[in-house]
Amino acid sequence: MDVRYLNGIVARYHVASRTFTFFTKFTTPKLPFSQVKSITYDSYGDVWIGGHSLARWSSRNENFDTLISVYGGVNKYNDDIVALTADENGSLWLHNAENGLLEYRIQEKQFNSYARHNGMPYEVLESVSPVLNDILWISSSSNLIRFDTRTKKIFVYDHNDGFPDEAPKYRKMYYDAIGGRMYLLFNESILRFDPSLQLKSPVADNILLTELRTNNNRSIYYPADDHSFLYNQNNHSLYFTIIDYENNDYKFDYRINETEKWAGLDKQRSLNLTSLSPGTYKVHLRATGRSGDEKLKTFSFIIKPPFWNTVWFYVIAGILLLSVIYLFYRARIKTIRERANVDKLLAQTELKALHAQMNPHFISNSLNSIREMILNDENKQASHFLTKFAHLIRITLDQSSQSFISLRNTIDYLNRYIEMEQIRNDQFVSNIYVDKELNEDEILLPPMLIQPFIENSIWHGLDGEDKSITVAIHFKKQDDKLVCIIDDNGIGIKQSLEMKKMVNGNHSSVAVFNIKQRINLLNEKYDLRSSVTIEDKMSCTAFPEKGTRVILNLPLQLNHLADN
């Protein structure tokens, strides 16, 4: 039985019966593709058919059981198998257009590619021979290539060996087993050669580096490894040669470092490397002779980075920067702490001093009241006053140690003070009004801030012997402010100051000054926006009336300051 192809149609010829079986895309089994171009037996007894795909006819199953349309190499999708043969070691050898030589390991179902980077002179092959003694002969447009399928060594013959400068006209070489000769067909000639032909490997020295030219103006002849260059010396031309007295027509390839692929230089014996970045470079040179033997040479050099782009510069700059930041941070923290400590101590000292000034003032006025009652034989009132005074002093001392107290405690303190003053002056009337929106337990305000104004109204708002006076205290909510208004119907602050000047000369109210200064210190220490306004109602209202009005504006949200 024999298998042949006729005009793209596969035919099976039975010798005994002298009959043919044709396979086309319409028969059963059908031919997997059209345009059949080559057929070969593999080492397992199956038939492989090449054309616009690669298919296998299984001799055991009597069927086409394999179809391949994607191959190896760079042009692995080029579906045009133009040459096909097989060896005795389980491999197919084929060529699809412009894709070098391909090996298909049948059992492993794996392609291996052999192209220019492996030493093949061309990517386009014209014809292949049968594999004889592990040797495959391949022709290109002007070369005859001897390829060892075991060692993968390549030897190239060209016009120097008598090979014609033209391309063969047939895809398959014919082997004459009787005469032991291989035949290759050209347009008007036939090439015959002995397939056992094998030239000895040429004797040649290794690749010799002759010159390294930097920036086209500085040359190093016969350079050694590990040369160092500045960052701006980054354009290099490397010249090399190989001493070969047998003229083996070497071709050269190169790659930079081991991670890159080989790039062809053909017969050019120079390499230009331009605009190189700082780093270490290892240039690999490879010379491939006609026999496939390779000569390798490596050359390494270093391009130094500029000093501002080195690790040590970054480390030193980083250390200096961190040091400056740290010193600035320490100095800033020290300044802030010193300023905060000074401000805090100053504010606390002045607050304590103000407390100390106000409390004796209040105590002095109260003791004068008790003394007056005793002198007037009002012993019962004096005893009652003294009891309330002692209780009030205890509360005063208690609150003096606190920065803030609740509105409820403030109102309780004011009520006790008013009761005490009403014992001394039964014509003194006072009322406290609190908005329903205000939570008396949540709202905080400084202690001893309102009582001095009530005290001023009682002691300095009276008109001669007339001791009748009314003081109204209002606590209101206005936006995010707590507004406290102390309103009396006394003689007014202007007349009171004039009377004091007549008696004491230039007199300024120490209590009022202390309160204003205290509010300023509280604003500074706790970042508040508090204010106090004292006005004479005779000059400030549309309908003048006697009296003084004090307006205190305090922030509502002071809960976070309670523990300070």
> In a 3-state reduction of DSSP, which class is residue 246?
coil
Domain boundary among 266, 284, 309: 309
Name the residue with tokens 């009171």.
Answer: 496
- The CATH number of the domain where 381 resides is what? 3.30.565.10
Radius of gyration of the chain (CA): 57
Asked if residue 199 belongs to a domain, the reply is no
Are the beta carbons of 441 and 405 closer than 8 angstroms? Answer: no
Are the beta carbons of 163 and 186 closer than 8 angstroms? Answer: no
Asked if residue 425 belongs to a domain, the reply is yes
> In a 3-state reduction of DSSP, which class is residue 169?
coil
Q: How confident is the model at residue 35 (pLDDT cuts 50, 70, 90)?
A: confident
Are the beta carbons of 71 and 83 closer than 8 angstroms? Answer: no
**In this structure, how many other beta carbons lie within 10 angstroms of the beta carbon of residue 142?**
16
DSSP state of 201: P
pLDDT digits (tens, 9 = 90+) for 227-263: 889 888 889 999 998 876 555 678 888 998 887 788 8
Asked if residue 476 belongs to a domain, the reply is yes
Identify the bridge partners of residue 190 per DSSP, sorted by sequence position: 185
The pLDDT, as a whole number, for residue 358 is: 53
Closest by CA to 485, choosing from 554, 544, 558, 409, is 554
| Of 143-147, 207-211, 298-302, 559-563, minimum mean pLDDT range | 559-563
The pLDDT, as a whole number, for residue 294 is: 77
Query: Higher pLDDT residue, 14 or 305?
Result: 305
Asked if residue 320 belongs to a domain, the reply is no
Are the beta carbons of 11 and 5 closer than 8 angstroms? Answer: yes
Let me know whether 532 and 415 are in one domain: yes
| Of 19-28, 231-240, 352-361, 455-464, minimum mean pLDDT range | 352-361
Asked if residue 200 belongs to a domain, the reply is no
Query: Higher pLDDT residue, 95 or 351?
Result: 95
The pLDDT, as a whole number, for residue 166 is: 83
Are the beta carbons of 47 and 57 closer than 8 angstroms? Answer: yes
The pLDDT, as a whole number, for residue 292 is: 65
Residue 293's φ and ψ, nearest 5 degrees, are -65, 145
- The CATH number of the domain where 59 resides is what? 2.130.10.10
Asked if residue 202 belongs to a domain, the reply is no
Count how many domains the chain has: 3
Asked if residue 214 belongs to a domain, the reply is yes
The pLDDT, as a whole number, for residue 46 is: 94
The pLDDT, as a whole number, for residue 1 is: 41
Q: How confident is the model at residue 136 (pLDDT cuts 50, 70, 90)?
A: very high
Name the residue with tokens 């401000």.
Answer: 343
Closest by CA to 447, choosing from 512, 402, 513, is 402
Q: How confident is the model at residue 4 (pLDDT cuts 50, 70, 90)?
A: low
Residue 9's identity, in one-letter code, is I
Half-sphere exposure of 1 (CA within 13 A, CB side): 9
Report the alpha-carbon distance of residue 421 to residue 427 in Å, rounded: 10
Domain boundary among 168, 193, 218: 193
Are the beta carbons of 469 and 458 closer than 8 angstroms? Answer: yes
Report the alpha-carbon distance of residue 57 to residue 61 in Å, rounded: 8
**What is the token pair recorded at 293?**
């033997």
pLDDT digits (tens, 9 = 90+) for 161-209: 778 888 888 888 999 989 899 999 988 888 899 888 765 555 555 788 8
Report the alpha-carbon distance of residue 517 to residue 512 in Å, rounded: 9
Is residue 560's pLDDT more than 70? no
Let me know whether 349 and 472 are in one domain: yes
Cα 152–Cα 116–Cα 43 angle in degrees, nearest 5: 35
Let me know whether 158 and 85 are in one domain: yes
Is residue 502's pLDDT more than 80? no
Is residue 7's pLDDT more than 80? no
Are the beta carbons of 418 and 392 closer than 8 angstroms? Answer: no
pLDDT digits (tens, 9 = 90+) for 424-478: 778 889 999 999 989 999 899 888 788 888 888 887 777 767 788 999 999 999 9
Report the alpha-carbon distance of residue 335 to residue 67 in Å, rounded: 85
User: For 453-477, b where at least 16 C-beta lie within 10 A, e where not — what string?
Assistant: bbbbbbbbbbeeeeeebbbbbebeb
Let me know whether 302 and 345 are in one domain: no
In sign, the C-alpha dihedral spanning 317, 320, 322, 328 is: negative
Let me know whether 543 and 447 are in one domain: yes
- The CATH number of the domain where 252 resides is what? 2.60.40.10
Residue 553 to residues 124, 430, 431, 477: CA-CA distances in angstroms?
98, 21, 20, 10
Let me know whether 431 and 289 are in one domain: no
Asked if residue 198 belongs to a domain, the reply is no
pLDDT digits (tens, 9 = 90+) for 393-423: 888 778 777 778 899 999 999 998 888 888 7
Name the residue with tokens 């500074």.
Answer: 524
Let me know whether 167 and 239 are in one domain: no
Report the alpha-carbon distance of residue 555 to residue 564 in Å, rounded: 16
Domain boundary among 309, 334, 352: 309
Is residue 543's pLDDT more than 90? no
Let me know whether 222 and 286 are in one domain: yes
Report the alpha-carbon distance of residue 307 to residue 312 in Å, rounded: 8
The pLDDT, as a whole number, for residue 507 is: 47
Is residue 214's pLDDT more than 60? yes
The pLDDT, as a whole number, for residue 137 is: 94
> In a 3-state reduction of DSSP, which class is residue 223?
coil
The pLDDT, as a whole number, for residue 205 is: 58
Let me know whether 114 and 254 are in one domain: no
Let me know whether 295 and 360 are in one domain: no
Residue 375, burial from CB neighbour count under 10 angstroms (0-12, 13-18, 19+):
exposed
Percent share of the chain, pLDDT over 90? 26
Let me know whether 332 and 300 are in one domain: no
Let me know whether 477 and 380 are in one domain: yes
**In this structure, how many other beta carbons lie within 10 angstroms of the beta carbon of residue 316?**
11
Closest by CA to 369, choosing from 389, 350, 345, is 389
Residue 293 belongs to what domain range? 207-309
